[in-house]
Chains A and B, each alone.
Chain A
Amino acid sequence: MTSNTGSEFEKKSSDDILLPTMNAENLQANMRTIYYSRTFLSIIAGVIAGILGFTNLTGFVFYFLVMAITSLGLVAKAKFSVHAHFDSWNRVVLDGFLSGLMSFVLFWTFAYDLVHIF
């Protein structure tokens, strides 16, 4: 009984100081999930762009399009309550964008060479 009320007191005081309290382990697990999704989808997007035969700017526009769809899917996966699973919108929309771009370019050139050059 006493320990219960003690924890309530702690919560109240932390709310008063406005400390942002969250479960860091779960946040990290969510970030890892997003990273896996984005890496896999950028590889798939690269293969598709290569098969379709996109050349310079069109391929990057295609990458932006696929990443936008991915962000939408991730938000839908979080049941549209982003702040219950992440601390900011940037985690969902921007994280893993540049590293995904690298693997996108790699697989884009790979598929393009495979289909259109050899």
Chain B
Amino acid sequence: MSAVTAVSLKERAAALVEVCSVRLGQAWFGVPINHIVEIVGSARPQPVPLAPGYVGGLVHYRGDVLTTVSLRKLLGMPLVEGVQDVLVLENAGICFGLLVDSVGEVLTVSSADHEQNPPTLDERRGALFAGAYKLEGRLLVMLDPARLDPVRLAA
């Protein structure tokens, strides 16, 4: 019994995950790095009139026009003036952008520290978050790229 626990603990300890941290106001969120195609700094998205609320506008990316999702709008935070960073994410073969205030460092976290969304989290946010990592002194709330896909948000 104890042997089994040891093995599973060992396995869990070995599973290290690289997470890119993004800042939104005072809060930090994490995005699994394997979903990030590229980080485009200081973009000014072109607004799309009549677009759904979560759409942050369009940005020009590698000759293509990328639809971005504004994390501020999604989380119901007040919008800020000025440039924002764009994370180019890939989901199911389609790229989209995620607008955040700024991109921070890449953290290596252990999956052992991961916890699911608490049941008390409100439903709207719970649908966007994929649990959190318990870091020293703070929690890093994870965003789920698949759930941020504008096509999925539209559905």
Q: Do A and B come from one complex?
A: no
